[in-house]
Amino acid sequence: NEVKLFTASALWDASQGLYAISLSNDGYYPAGQLYKTITYDENTAAAPTEADGSTVEFKNKEGQVVLKRTYGTVGTGSTNEKHDTYYVYDIYGNLTYVIPPKAVDILNVTNIQSNITSTAVVNSGSSLQLTDRY
């Protein structure tokens, strides 16, 4: 179960009088760095697999949820697919970005900052939520 490692960093922009926040994808969390909790709903079979009616949360060592994964069918399909929502925190522990499933699929690893405002993300019916706490 690989979990992407997104980071948010802030640089002071004196000309605008505020912090410019940037998002980066630093690959994946190393093994053993996250806690994983699987919760099954009341409609789950007696011997479930992870993809059967579950919600999976990955938390960092500070107890912050960094990934919430649910499963469901898409369109008329019958196969359960992963729907990942990422939560990105700044160095102070403030929630800075919430990246919904469609945006996760679209964001490019090598050019993530320019893709945040790309037409593909905007037109996907998904939005990247920026929480400014500075």
Residue by residue, pLDDT tens for the chain (134 residues) are 689 999 998 888 899 888 888 888 888 999 999 999 998 877 777 777 777 778 999 999 999 999 999 988 777 777 788 899 999 999 889 999 999 888 887 775 445 555 454 444 444 455 555 444 44
* Count of domains forming the chain: 1
What pLDDT is attached to residue 77? 72
The pTM of the whole model exceeds 0.85 = no
113-121, long-range: CB within 8 Å, 24+ apart, which pairs?
113/22, 113/23, 113/24, 116/23
What pLDDT is attached to residue 101? 87
What pLDDT is attached to residue 51? 76
* Domain range for 45: 4-130
| SS3 state of residue 53 | coil
What pLDDT is attached to residue 108? 53
